[in-house]
Amino acid sequence: MQSGKAVWPWVLGVVVVGGAGTWLFRDQLQGLADGVSVPVQSAPTSAGAAPKPVAVEEPAPPQIRHPLDSEAAADPALPKLADSDGAAWSALSELFKGEGALTVLLRDHLIQRLVTQVDNLDKASVPPTALAARPLPGSLQVEQGEGGDRIAAANAARYAPYVQAFTALDPAAAAMAYKRFYPLIQQAYVDLGKPDGYFNDRLVSVIDHLLDTPELAQAPLVERDERGRYRFVDATLQSRSIGQKALLRLDAAQARAVKQQLRAIRGAITR
C-alpha cells in the first residue's frame, strides 16, 4: 500500500473527465452491427464456371456503450492538446472554486496525465509515469487495534480537504467542463495506444469498478512490507486495484460520500 503516493489525483482526474458528454462519435453508432462478421453469399454458379469470390464484411467498430451528446457545438476556442494546460487548469480552478485542492496536481500535460491515471485506476499498481500528482503531505497514520495495527481514525484528516472539495463539486458544472474538453480528452486516450477506444465508456467502467469497492465494518489491518511500506494484511484487500485501495484507506463516512458523488458523476455522463 503506497502510503507515500498521492491517492487523491484519481478523484481529481475523475472530475475533470467526469462530466456530461459531448458530440464526437454518436453518428458512428448508426447502422453498427453487433460485432459479428457476416459473409455475403454469392449467387449460385453454373457447372464448370469458376466460383465468384465471397465478399466478407469488415468487422464493425467496437460498440460505444455510453455515447455523448453529439448535438452540442464544438468550442472553436478550444486549444490544441499540446497547448491545453492553461485552459484545463483554469477550468479546474473554476470547478473547485480555487486552487486549494489542486496544489498536488502536476500542471504540465495535465489532460494527458489525468486520462492516463484514470485508465490505470482499476489496475493493481500504477507506474510513476501514470501519476498526475505529487505525494500528499503527511504519512499514513496507524493505531494499535484488535488483531494488530489498523488505519487510525485520525488518518481521515489527511484526506478531508480532498474529500470535501470533491464532494462539494456541482456535477452539472463538471459535466459542462467535460463536454467542452472532451475532444482533447478523447485525443489523449487515443494517444495512449487506444485507437478504437472511447474514453467515456472507459470512464464509466472505471467508476463502476470504484463503486464495487467493499465497505468494511472497521478500519483494515495493515503491516509493513520488507521495504517499510504499509500494506493490507488481508490478501484479498491487498490484491485489489490501486483505485479501490485508495477508497479503502478512507474512513466509512468519507468512502460513502465519495461513492455518492461518483454515482452523481456517472449519471451525468450516461444520460
The pLDDT mean for the chain works out to 80
What gap in Å lies between CA 24 and CA 26, rounded to an integer? 6
**Mean pLDDT to the nearest integer, 201-212:** 97
Q: Is the pLDDT of residue 70 over 90?
A: no
For the chain, give the percent of residues with pLDDT over 70.
76
Q: Is the pLDDT of residue 23 over 80?
A: no
pLDDT of residue 50: 56
113 pLDDT band, cuts 50/70/90, is: very high
Judged by average pLDDT, the poorest of 82-86, 218-222, 234-238, 267-271 is 267-271
φ/ψ region of 199 (left if φ > 0, alpha if ψ in -120 to 50, else beta) reads alpha
For the chain, give the percent of residues with pLDDT over 90.
58
| Tens digit of each residue's pLDDT (9 = 90 or more) over 151-171 | 999 999 999 999 999 999 999
Q: Is the pLDDT of residue 88 over 70?
A: yes
pLDDT of residue 60: 55
**Mean pLDDT to the nearest integer, 93-104:** 90
Name the most confidently modeled range: 7-11, 48-52, 210-214: 210-214
Bigger pLDDT: 242 or 2? 242
Bigger pLDDT: 201 or 8? 201
pLDDT of residue 29: 24
Q: Which of 16, 23, 20 is nearest to 75 (CA)?
A: 23
**Mean pLDDT to the nearest integer, 191-209:** 95
pLDDT of residue 193: 94
pLDDT of residue 52: 59
Q: Is the pLDDT of residue 107 over 50?
A: yes
271 pLDDT band, cuts 50/70/90, is: confident
What gap in Å lies between CA 87 and CA 85, rounded to an integer? 6
Determine the distance from the C-alpha atom of residue 70 to the mean position of all C-alpha atoms in its chain, rounded to a whole number: 21
pLDDT of residue 76: 80
Q: Is the pLDDT of residue 146 over 90?
A: no
Calculate the alpha carbon distances from 33 to 3, 36, 38, 62, 98 in Å. Answer: 47, 7, 9, 9, 46
pLDDT of residue 69: 74
Bigger pLDDT: 14 or 140? 140
E strand spans, the chain: 39-40, 55-56, 142-145, 148-151, 222-224, 230-232
| Tens digit of each residue's pLDDT (9 = 90 or more) over 223-234 | 999 999 999 999
